[in-house]
Amino acid sequence: MARKIEAIIREEALDPVKDALHEIGIVGMNVFEIRGHGRQGGIELAWRGTSYRMDLIPKIQINIVLSEENVEKTIEAIVKAARTGNQGDGIIFVYPVEDIVRIRTGERGHKAIMYPDDIDERKGR
């Protein structure tokens, strides 16, 4: 079964996370600029002597669909690259994927998410 990883990370962590994912063989991903907050509820900022609360903090969301056997390795790469140890580092969700269809070819299931030199092809080396 395929899984979808949805990682919400700090903006400045995007390049290190992308590099870590490419290093382990993750080829396909979607990246979104989003806003939100978690437990911290936002941050307190000061500008020209006035302080204000910013409750929707800019974040990056990365979506990856991959085979179940590669989920833990992918999570480890994201955590290692994105962790600062401070509040607001992010969160990772893992969802089951019922089916996948590549529109161009009509391929379904695991074949639809295979890419040359991806994490699944590297296993045989």
Distance in angstroms (rounded) separating the CA atoms of residues 121 and 125? 8
Q: Identify how many contiguous H helices and E strands the chain contains and give both numbers.
A: 3, 6
Name the DSSP class of 68: G
Give the predicted TM-score (pTM) of the model. Answer: 0.85
**Each residue of 49-80: pLDDT tens digit?**
887 777 888 999 999 999 999 999 999 999 99
Q: What is the CATH number of the domain that holds 104?
A: 3.30.70.120
- Number of structural domains the chain divides into: 1
C-alpha distance from residue 11 to each of 16, 52, 88, 99, 109 (Å) = 10, 21, 11, 30, 32
Domain that holds residue 84: 2-122
Residues of the chain with pLDDT under 70: 123-125
In contact, 30 and 7? CB cutoff 8 Å:
no
